[in-house]
Structure 1
């Protein structure tokens, strides 16, 4: 008699796209560098980057903002490339590769949970932002219903994984650039470029350090979760080209456009800036700018939660199923307006991420305590990982506190450097040691993409 399929299994089989949530991405499933670069550019050239540029332009003159963006971009590119190379070489996402880059199974579970909570929170918040724009453009539905619709549309795209997100990037990124160019040219008709470059900022003065902090801190979480994307790259050169192109264009094209528009409109309110320039087209800019960052919020959140469930509960759950659940939850929370009350909490949680990059870079490239295991298991994941690495937990916490409380320099970069140096010192002193051993199961059923 044929075995009956449960409703849950039927849904899972229909979704199926696990997107190598717990395994290495094989070379056959990887993409050319330009395709991934479009995704990277879409992630950086989002509404948040426009907001950043407008904030800089409201408090800085053009050249001060230019150099703040330059220094911040160089720092981001260095961190992003190093972390991205780890993801490319190992073909594993951030929370999984963390098991062998200093965190152990327990630490990677904590990291996966932090990523999951943080990014699903921002997913909901940005769904609410887009809903406000949609309600302005098409007032046929209230904001709460648009929040739900927008969140569910993004969820449907992310269900199919990297491939469908690539198609969305191919459409939304060019449209976003065209519309930003339209807004920029429309506003420049009333001002000369020389006038905007030489004009004084309209708002309270922003220092160079504060401006650079905004640039570097604005994308540091994106830098940390870079392996989620670069595991689909084919070579180190691809990672470098993709990062330099994506970060440079994202920071300069969108960031400096925001700076100049803030000088023209004398406001840091990006919605006021784009709608005053091109009316309803400005709402489309907001929608497209939010759409591309929000699919990555949901995608990386799902990967983090899958790793958390795998390590804590020992259950192998399908990434698409997890994405569906948290996408629905995030959309409902956005519709209820609840997540707006947690922006402060999400910002505080953000201090936990920069040290992760420093620890991963230090372990993989300098200390190399578990690097041999990754090399030995090149075609699969290593059979075991340490359960806990106490020194890493201490360094992680100490570096986060340094980034949060030390006011000299750039906070996010302070925490990255502190984590890197402390981990290297601990490694040289023999303090980086694993406690316990967690098995990594190799189930043939988990090898599908």
Structure 2
């Protein structure tokens, strides 16, 4: 029988560490982009923003394996079925490596076509193509390192995950200073720094997984189609969620290009990065941190603990995100000035942060609900919530709102969609009797 701690203890041990990790990594990435903007140009940031949705869609494929494995392994560990968890983990890592190898080859061969598809034109098309071609070299290391992080988290070592992620991010920043600022390698240097830091991350996590994990171990992988389909089914919700998040960002980029000005595109490219750092990273930290706990509670049939922990984590993360959003507000124009030299563009960026950032504060419960159902091995609900939110409501309402209301449409569309999802999440979760729901075996 597993002894479970209090909600506050889990929030502090798992979620707060992941929040801290995500915010620090985000700040380091911002510094990383400052280097790129200063020594390569602001078009670099625009190119990275344009290719971002496609990277999310590619990463979503790996999430299909990683998220499904994380929830399934946690569920098995909750039932004390360690051997089955080890075999499932080893098989999934093997299949994931082959899948990412294939994706890397495809992206390298069609990098220019992909860059054109996401809206890059002219000089930005050339920059985007180079960036995507080079960054694809590191897909394998990035994805396998993230997969090992999921397993190590399930093994009960969130502090290690925080340390190795922060270390690799700081290393990425230092390598960028060397390759971009001092050696003047341009886009190539920017990507090589990221790839090398991901490789170091993978090496450290591989060593920990092989020699330090207490429960989960790598064994000789045996392909079990039934188990693999079970993992893919459970991971399908997060796959659709991340893929549709990439689709949403793609639609927003296209709407800004079509209905606003290049200055709005530059401003949005910078502001969206800060919104991810100051708001979204907090909400994602909650989801990532508590996923293994929800899965283990479900496996151990501690049904009465699930909804109270979800409620507690949503309340705490709402407070933290609002506090960080307000604390960053007085410094936002200064931060924008590091990336944007034109005063009018800075003014546009500040308005977008104030309005779109405020609307983003409402994404917490919808995100948490999607994560929650994946964690308790109920992917169907997660799929329905994900598709409704990021395939239909957010892209459609935001696109139409930008068309009708200009730059204010970012806030209006996002806020409208999230309010609808908050109402739907609350109405569904409040009366739900978790002890009566069926788990797919």
When the two structures are superposed, what TM-score results if normalisation uses the length of structure 1? 0.31
Greater relative contact order, per chain length (Cα 8 Å cut-off, separation 6+): 1
Q: Give the helix-richer structure, 1 or 2.
A: 2
